[in-house]
Amino acid sequence: MKIPWLRHNFLARRTLDRWFLDPPDALIRRLKGRGDLPPYSLRSFVGGAENFEEAGRFFLEDFLQQGLVSAGTTILEIGCGCGRVATSLARDERIKAWGVSYSGMDVDEASIAWCAKHITRWNPLFHFYHANCYNPSYNPSGVVAVDSYRFPHADESLDLVVLTSVLTHVLPNELIHYLGEMSRMLAPDGVVYASFFLSPILAEADNGRHAFSFPVKRENHAVNREDFPTNAVAYEERYVRRVVQEAGLQVLEPVRYGSQDIMLLTKPIASIELREGWYELETNTWRWTTRSFGVKVKRRKDAFTLRFRFRIAEALLENDRTLRLSAAVGESRLQAVNYSTVGEHLYVQKIPPPALGEEWALIHFQIESAYEPATEDRRELGVQVIFRRGLRPLCPVSIT
Ligand SMILES: C[S@@+](CC[C@H](N)C(=O)[O-])C[C@H]1O[C@@H](n2cnc3c(N)ncnc32)[C@H](O)[C@@H]1O
């Protein structure tokens, strides 16, 4: 029997799930020794009843691969639900060893209650709080307008802000407000990791990539249902790019398109100030054919993440050229990457702990492009080297 209203009313469906599906799910979980998972009604409420752990693992590994989490990272997850991401992070031994701290916020009180009761026990640096914001799908009795909500975090205090399947449930005025808040809270080198339903133009919002259709077209966005607009919201990509920029953030290319489209956002290079533990080549530009340069860093005993940020101008990639970046720490070569898209890029590598007695790390970069500039060609490539806070490059940067 089809009861469409129930299917689309998330809270009514959760009540039914709680009555009819939680008891058998609890039994099955107990038999499988998985009493530590949230009940079915909570997993299903955030769209993750079946792939709860798999999705959590994907995000953890993606954060690590992108170099977004390392020693001392402070994370805020907005719309953490019943802890799909938090669970996998909180129990990971690397995350524990690095002293990563995490705050999870959601408008759904039941999800937050579950996370606070279970996840903080597994990792005491993980905390959760409820924000009673109104969302017609997830918190219809909320009393605070999303576009007036101020997050209880200090300016520039967060290294990573995560929103998976959350900006897919907010309307434009709320999106704009959240971007402003994220820009306020983000450390100068911080990154926002957010998923969207993006479309080049709204007429193409039903592109087969996303699990929803978006028949109700509005200005700059489209929704799946008129009566529950926040059930699923798709945005025009150029609109998102515009409001991101207006919030003082920028997109780290490339956007990764999929069942949800993942964007990394950061503060533009110009707004990043030279701070203790950072060295930037912001003002250095040079001819952008083959280049190499070295950075010498005083080592500490632990591993660290090296992040090298640079921009590729359109001219560099003319005629399907690619730019190849390779790096080495001492004798060990790091993974080389070929870049073939214009815009800002982030080259992230884990640098292993030093060998005994090794006091300095010399990191050597090599940029190669097949392009041979004419003598009168003045185009240049600007690069920037960024280290995680806490590292002090003593002999800053020597360019060879
Ligand atoms: C599809 S679930 C995703 C949950 C979680 N991020 C995950 O990936 O498992 C959407 C979540 O966003 C929350 N949410 C909806 N509107 C929100 C808002 N304005 N601020 C914060 N969270 C919100 C919902 O309560 C729900 O937990």
pLDDT > 70: percent of the chain = 71
Q: What local confidence, expressed as pLDDT, does residue 395 receive?
A: 40
Separation of CA 340 and ligand 1 centre (Å): 34
Contact between residue 366 and residue 295 where contact means Cβ atoms under 8 Å apart: no
| Confidence class for position 167, pLDDT limits 50, 70, 90 | very high
Q: What local confidence, expressed as pLDDT, does residue 286 receive?
A: 38
Separation of CA 55 and ligand 1 centre (Å): 15
Contact between residue 224 and residue 187 where contact means Cβ atoms under 8 Å apart: no
Asked if the model's pLDDT at residue 163 lies above 70, the reply is: yes
Separation of CA 52 and ligand 1 centre (Å): 14
Nearest-CA residue for atom 20 of ligand 1:
79
Separation of CA 245 and ligand 1 centre (Å): 23
| Best of 46, 89, 114 for a ligand 1 pocket test (most atoms within 8 Å of beta carbon) | 46
Report helix, strand and coil shares of the chain as percent, to nearest 5: 30, 30, 40
Among the ranges given (19-23, 167-171, 224-228, 348-352), the one the predictor scored with the smallest mean pLDDT: 348-352
Ligand 1: lining residues by beta carbon, under 6 Å: 46-48, 78-81, 84-85, 106-108, 111, 133, 135, 138, 146, 164-166, 169-170, 174
Averaged pLDDT score across all residues of the chain: 80
The model's pTM:
0.76
- Check residues 314 and 109 and name the one with the higher pLDDT: 109
Q: Which two tokens stand for residue 209?
A: 């990539």
Where helices occur in 196-310 by DSSP H, the ranges are: 237-246
Task: Give the residue-averaged pLDDT of 70-94.
Answer: 95
The Cα 294–Cα 312 span in angstroms is 20
Contact between residue 176 and residue 243 where contact means Cβ atoms under 8 Å apart: yes
Q: What local confidence, expressed as pLDDT, does residue 278 receive?
A: 32
| Confidence class for position 134, pLDDT limits 50, 70, 90 | very high
- Check residues 338 and 26 and name the one with the higher pLDDT: 26
